[in-house]
Structure 1
Amino acid sequence: MGGEKAVEHESNRVLVINPGSTSTKFGVFTGNGPEWVATVHHGDEELERFRGCSMLARTGYRAGVIEKALVEAEYDAKQFAAVGGRGGFLPPMACGTYLVDDAIIEELRAARRGEHASNLGAVLALRFAEAAGVNAYVVDPVTVDEWQDCARLSGTPSIERWCVGHALNIKAVARRFAGESARAYPDLRLIVVHMGSGITVSAHRDGRMIDNNTPEEGPFGPDRTGSLPVRELIKLCMTGEHTERQLDRMVFGEGGLFAYLGTRDLQEAERRIDGGDARAAAVYEAMIYQVAKETGAMAAVLEGRVDAVLLTGGMAHSERLIGKLRKYIDWIAPVTVYPGEDELRSIADGVFRVLRGEEQAKRLETHLTEEQRRDALVIGLE
């Protein structure tokens, strides 16, 4: 299962699949861009149906949804030259496009780094690729790890920092800016700020993402707390009033804007501000302030020599937010905004780089660095 197939395919179409918690986005791409895209939303019925099951238990259901849509759009599996999927919670790995093989599937089945909807990406991609007799790939998974060594120390040997973030969109935006600037990505020193349901602020040098805040660090966002005062968190944990699951949900899913305002919707927060809601305005300002602080921290990581700050993600559509953030960070470097997160296109681009011979597809087992292998052993991944 999942072995690399040396296939010549007359089609230049690639099927791309990006599963999320409450939706599945997928589409058919050519080298020129999207030919057809679709989004299917999954309601409470699905969430209840699979409650208590592993994420991969949803594979058959999600595949059926995609198959139905493809048939209605008059696509046949054999039309695809390859299939690309969103990379999930895999071991630490170098950036790039990876062949979906037994090693990747086994890691996702074990879910040693956690259950997440993105874990379905490779499994679904392989399912459709096998039907077409072609290869399946994942591109720049969330566990891409290019950190410099000094970024790994947390302050206590009992807790290691480990790299996880919005690598797919962040890397795509960095490459896009490099192309538009007629410069090579490895020659640029960049800060890339992804602002979606989670916020990742990253520093780039020599073509590598050398540091970034992880989901439990950095600014608070629509429903995540980001960094918290540690001693106060310890006290909260020791009260006995909350289970571990409740505490985890408090910081990852019910924190940030949601905790303060009862909404994860940035536009709703802005409507409240326009209506004179002083609390909404204060929380909104604090979130932007924290994003700016983290951006300044990454400027220090790059020793103050930054070619550009790139702002991306869904929240980058907000002119109000971008305007306020610029006032804090304009001094660092010129700011360029790439609203949204075109993850389907980013996956497709990675697959086409392999199909065109511009990039060699990687294998999970052969592209762990010695440092990453050591980390994998520590947490029981190997």
Structure 2
Amino acid sequence: MTATATRVLVLNSGSSSVKYQLIDMNDGTRLAVGLVERIGEQASRLAHTPLAAGGDKRETEGAIADHDAALKAVAAELAADGLGLDSPQLAAIGHRVVHGGLKFTEPTVIDDAVLKEIERLVPVAPLHNPANITGIRTAQAMRPDLPQVAVFDTAFHATMPEYAARYAIDVETADAHRIRRYGFHGTSHAYVSRKTAALLGKDPSEVNVIVLHLGNGASASAVAGGRCVDTSMGLTPLEGLVMGTRSGDIDPAVTFHLKRVAGMSTDEIDVLLNKKSGLIGLCGDNDMREIRRRIDEGDERARLAFDIYIHRLKKYIGAYSAVLGRVDAVAFTAGVGENAAPVREAAVAGLEEMGMAVDASLNAVRSDEPRLISPEYARVAVAVVPTDEELEIAQQTYALVNA
């Protein structure tokens, strides 16, 4: 890495997509952002925006066979803007890796041993880690001389005490199969908890915050003095809040019942709980804007789905208030958390005795900046804090390669 290398390419490789951002760490400026989707299909699509040049979004469609072809296409788009992967200004490539197990609790430079351990964790993250691995291998092949860094979704939650991380099942069985609560969305929870403290004018070590990351996937965390002490997702991202297509918390015996009575296979139950449940299972929509539109038109099924979603949110706010003992702030983030004012209002409604309230006029404001939406008299600050997982990954990557 040269002394002038200040750029980090952030890659988030999904099963059929690659999201990317090129960030200059001098000031956090986005130089380019983009998305390749429908990889492996005839109608693949690459959308690339060269922000550094102030250019317009460029979109191309056509078959992109695999992740290797996808990253080569991304490299070509970046090169066309003078931002190619061969640039001496590129310091490292940071990869989002969903599951790091107990071994990876910090950003880690990727070598053969690290890659082998990420592969070993595939059974506990079968939908995510294989795609992350593919992205890593492709990037390594393109720039074998460049540091490649894995930043793990699970890492921020590694500070959970054992009594919060353990399930109450036979210890030997749990340990043999790595069954415990790991948590996810860690880069978002880390970023938002720090930004919330800054919004309050305090150091993260002084602040207890409940972070509500509400997107299609949703999770809550209890952060005490900058350290996660509990989170809603568990062994997998299925546990916890009601999500777009995931059920969240459910009686484990439902799976046995479906197998015995409905004759469903393990794979069918997996698909049901992960892809056909949550909001889409309850009302047929997982877009909160559409659900709210239907509610306004008197749709009772949409109303019930919304009420179930909010009920679960309230339960976690209450539970994490008890876990923390003192709550300084509740922070809403991610697509729904940042944009759905009715969700924020409903989640906090009735919690005045816990010191929480939302000011209707402040809540109605739309902004890309962190902001308070609670009235001045509220004992607990309620905030909207836009998340920035890509910047968090870039910062952790850059700090590691410059350590």
Among 382, 397, 402, the alignment partner of 1:335 is 382
Counterpart Cα distance in 1 of 2:281 and 2:77: 37
Q: Is the 8 A contact 2:119 2:129 kept in 1?
A: no
Partner of 1:116: 127
Q: What's 1:314 paired with? A: 335
Is 1:73 aligned to residue 85 of structure 2? no
SS in structure 2 of the partner of residue 45 of structure 1:
coil
Instruction: Output the amino acid matched with 1:76.
Output: G
Tell me which of 258, 261, 267 is aligned to 2:289: 267
Of residues 311-320 and 184-193 in structure 1, the stretch that sits farther from structure 2 once superposed is 184-193
Map of 1:35 onto structure 2: 31
Tell me the residue number matched to 1:203: 222
Counterpart Cα distance in 1 of 2:37 and 2:220: 28
**What is the TM-score of this pair, normalised by structure 1?**
0.80
Which residue in the other structure is 1:344 paired with?
A: 390
Moved more, 64-73 or 163-172: 64-73
Contact 1:19 1:118 in 2 (8 A): no
Deviation at 1:35, TM superposition (A): 1.6
1:310-357 deviation per Cα after TM superposition (whole angstroms, max 9, x unaligned): 111111111111121121556352111124x42212211212333554
CA contact (8 A) 2:166 2:180 kept: yes
Letter in 2 for 1:221: M
Deviations 1:148-195 (A, max 9, x none): 111133233255532121101111111222333343223322211111
Segments of 5+ residues of structure 2 without an aligned counterpart are 45-64, 356-379
Q: For the residues of structure 2 that align with 1:99 and 1:267, how far apart are their CA atoms?
A: 40
Does structure 1 residue 136 correspond to structure 2 residue 148? yes
Where does 1:229-244 land on structure 2 (aligned, <5 Å)?
A: 229-239=251-261, 241-244=263-266
Aligned-pair identity (%)? 24
Equivalences for residues 1-382 of structure 1 within 5 A:
7-31=1-25, 32-33=27-28, 34-42=30-38, 45=41, 58-79=66-87, 80-93=90-103, 95-110=105-120, 111-117=122-128, 119-121=130-132, 124-125=135-136, 127-128=138-139, 131=143, 133-142=145-154, 144-157=157-170, 160-214=179-233, 215-239=237-261, 241-303=263-325, 305-316=326-337, 317-329=339-351, 331-332=354-355, 333-339=380-386, 341-355=387-401, 357=403
Alpha carbons 1:105, 1:123 under 8 Å: kept: no
Instruction: Evaluate the alpha carbon distance shift between residue 47 and residue 116 of structure 1 in structure 2; reply closer, same or farther with a 3 A threshold.
Output: farther
The Cα shift of 1:217 comes to: 2.4
Unaligned runs of 5+ in 1: 1-6, 49-56, 358-382
Give the Cα separation in 2 of the matches to 1:99 and 1:123.
Answer: 16
Q: Partner amino acid for 1:45?
A: E
Q: What residue identity is the alignment partner of 2:163?
A: C
**Deviation per residue, 1:270-303 (Å, 9 max, x gap):** 1211222111011112101111111211111112
Q: CA deviation at 1:93?
A: 4.4
Q: Alpha carbons of 1:180 and 1:349: their partners in 2 closer, same or farther (altered >3 Å)? A: farther
CA distance in 2, matches of 1:83, 1:319: 36
Q: Which moved more, 1:108-117 or 1:202-211?
A: 108-117
Is residue 100–residue 126 contact of structure 1 (8 Å, CA) maintained in 2? no
Query: 3-state SS of the aligned residue for 2:282?
Result: helix
1:374 equivalent in structure 2: none
Q: Give the 3-state SS of the residue equivalent to 1:151 in structure 2.
A: helix
Which has the bigger relative contact order, CA under 8 A and spacing at least 6? 1
CA shift for structure 1 position 253: 1.5
- Residue-pair matches, total: 341
Instruction: Give me the TM-score of the superposition, normalised by structure 2.
Output: 0.77
Report how far residue 44 of structure 1 moved: 7.6
In structure 2, relative to structure 1, the CA distance for the partners of 1:226 and 1:328 (3 Å cut) is farther
